[in-house]
Amino acid sequence: MESNTDTIMDVERGAGRNKRKWSEEEDEKLVESLIELVNNGAYKADNGFKPGYLGFLENSLSVKLPTSGLKGKPHIESRIKTLKKDFNMVYDLRYGSTSGFGWNSENQLVTASRDVWAEYAKSHVGVLKWRSTPFPFFDDLAIIFGKDRATGHNAESAMETEENINLEEAAQGKNDDSSMQASDESTSRRSSKRKKFDAEQMAEVMYNASKMIAAEFANSTKMMAAEFASSTKLLIAAETDRLEKKEKLMDELSKISDIDVVQRFKAAKKIADSENLMVLFFGASDAEKKQLVDAILAREI
């Protein structure tokens, strides 16, 4: 029979025995597979995943990363919990009640002044890593966890998520009876959280999404307005130039000898009615203007 000391040591080792350092490529492929799982619809529930989802992800990663040896349990399950914890923390920074935080979409990085970070870190352990750590998976994880992640007084914070992860990993070292009891309690907690995710919380998630869409729309509108203004200026300039040439047309025609007033008016009307003739006339030399007018009067043009 095992001693009490051995049992305690097993539990202590259990919290870290499944730790595995994931590469950037492995994280990328896992998120990619999670998006495929969501789009598949067979394994995604309103507030989590349905039974069989780990098998789906394990098969998907065995194709994308055939030499990784990643298993549904413990590797993939544990990494999903970590990704959700990171997502919740960055989500709180971007959309939480604390002002002063921003988002650099180009570098996928949370931004804030040194004072804002220092004040926030007083009550949020581990948050300072996001000062210099990009989070390129935020938009994809918002699709994966967005419906789970409600804001408001009933929402699970990033710190609560981390605490739940640590408790679940520690419980892996206990005997089968304890594991079954912990599983039942975890299921009960998840069921309770589902009930708390009411219409008001869903509206908050939709509101945050609408703000991002509105910002993109405003930017597109500004670009369209600038292009319209530029085109309008070009049209006004072209019309002004045409009117100025019309005003000068009779003066230029009066310089041509051997045509009378009636012929001058006929030539002026013909040229003024044609943009092409107007360009040709004012671009021609004096001799060429005379030949052009003679051709117009002779109805050769």
For residue 247, give the 3-state DSSP assignment.
helix
Residue that is written with structure tokens 């107007």 in the block: 278
Q: Which of 115, 105, 114 is nearest to 135 (CA)?
A: 105
Structural contact between residues 130 and 158, judged by C-beta atoms closer than 8 angstroms: no
Task: Answer yes or no: do 189 and 41 share one domain.
Answer: yes
Are 103 and 18 within one domain?
Answer: yes
Q: What is the pLDDT, as a whole number, of residue 104?
A: 93
Q: Is the CA virtual torsion 123, 126, 131, 134 positive or negative?
A: negative
Cα–Cα nearest to 116, from 99, 135, 132, 104: 99
> Is residue 49 classed as helix, strand or coil in its secondary structure?
strand
253 in the same domain as 130 = no
Same domain, 59 and 164: yes
Q: Are residues 58 and 192 in the same domain?
A: yes
User: So what's the pLDDT on residue 155?
Assistant: 46
Question: Quick one: 127 and 276 in the same domain?
Answer: no
Indicate if 8 and 117 belong to the same structural domain: yes
| 179 located within any domain | yes
Per DSSP, the residues of 88-126 read HHHHHHHHSS--S-EEETTTTEEE--HHHHHHHHTSSTT
The overall average pLDDT reported for the chain is 76
Q: Are 61 and 188 within one domain?
A: yes
Residue 139 lies in a domain: yes
Answer yes or no: is 84 within a domain: yes
pLDDT of residue 183: 46
Q: Does residue 156 sit within a domain? A: yes
Residues 174 and 240 in one domain: no
Burial of 113 (0-12, 13-18, 19+ CB in 10 A): exposed
Q: How many domains does the chain have?
A: 2
Q: Which of 195, 201, 199, 194 is nearest to 152 (CA)?
A: 201
Identify the band that residue 222 occupies on the pLDDT scale cut at 50, 70 and 90: confident
In a domain, 189, yes or no: yes
* pTM of this prediction exceeds 0.85: no
Which range of 150-159, 223-232, 268-277 scores highest in mean pLDDT? It is 268-277
Domain of residue 126 covers 4-197
The HSE-up count of residue 158 (CA atoms within 13 Å, CB side) is: 20
Both tokens of 167, joined, read 């408790």
- Percent pLDDT > 70 in the chain is 72
Higher pLDDT pick, 213 / 54:
54
Q: Given a cut of 90, is residue 255 above it in pLDDT?
A: no
- Does 159 share its domain with 39? yes
Q: Is residue 211 part of a domain?
A: no
With tokens 């998630």, the residue in question is: 205
Question: pLDDT digit string (tens) for 10-42?
Answer: 333 344 555 788 999 999 999 999 999 888 888
Task: Judge if 46 and 153 occupy the same domain.
Answer: yes
User: Does 289 share its domain with 246?
Assistant: yes
